Amino acid sequence: MKISLLQTDIIWGDPVANQQKAEELIKSLDKSEVYVLPEMFSTGFATEPEGIAEDDLSSLNWMIKTAKNMDAAIAGSVATCISEGGKKTYHNRFYFVKPDGTYEYYDKHHLFTYGGEHHRYTSGKERKVVEFRGVKFLLQVCYDMRFPIFARNTKDEPYDVALYVASWPTVRLKAWKALAHARAIENQCYVAAVDRTGKDPYCEYSGGTMLIDAYGNTVAECEENKVCGITMELDLEALYAFRKKFPVLEDRD
């Protein structure tokens, strides 16, 4: 299976412009089966969601259309506003959209309290593993990277690839890289770590988008401080052979 990771420079609060830029980048890459965008790829990471979070599902609809046109899955998180019973709730919602128009989603569980995300967003209660074309993907968002127990590759809910979408700032980039490699090694999985570049009203971002294999090797990575996309083949046979030869996961707690 081929996977493409998209390191974008997000225009603050402008979903249409960001959708267009993402589509241009997707079409510039080699054909893939899964395209992964950063956290809140359509607006930028907004801890104050009023006026930013989408209540018209425009980005989800764009993802559905693009997935169909590309015959591929499109994944990325969106600041989402849900109205029910006259009450609004906000969610950092990671959508995984399939070519047939169906989708699954994961609401970010570990909200970034340091930045105040927990004051306005509703935390997700369950983690999510999605299967697509025989490959199992764990959906994770940014700050989740710091919590290894939540990402544990378990017997009851195993996965092959952990997708981490993020708006992880330059000042903590060293931690991002170290944690991403650790998650791949300890879970004997691929880690697709997708971060943005550019600036928003609060932070600077330099990217750090990379694909890491189960040995902890960086298979491919984007150039820092640059809009970039990488496409790589996931060698699932080699992954399964490694797990069989060196059965670390069989000794997990």
- Is 222 part of the annotated catalytic residue set? no
DSSP structure class, residue 200: -
Give the closest residue to 29 by CA, choosing from 63, 72, 61, 76. Answer: 72
Q: Reduced to 3 states, what is the DSSP secondary structure of residue 220?
A: strand
The CA radius of gyration of the chain, in Å to the nearest whole number, is 17
DSSP 182: H
Catalytic, 108? Answer yes
Given the residues 108, 189, 222, 228, select the one marked as catalytic: 108
Q: Are strands 2-7 and 34-36 parallel, antiparallel or unpaired?
A: parallel
Catalytic residue of the set 39, 54, 117, 221 = 39
CA-to-CA distance for 191 and 218, rounded, in angstroms?
9
Tell me the C-alpha to C-alpha distance, in Å, between residue 206 and each of 30, 44, 93, 150, 173.
23, 14, 23, 26, 8
Beta partners for residue 103, in sequence order = 97
Helix (H, G, I), strand (E, B) or coil at 30: coil
**Which residue type occupies 239?**
L
Residues marked as catalytic: 39, 108, 142
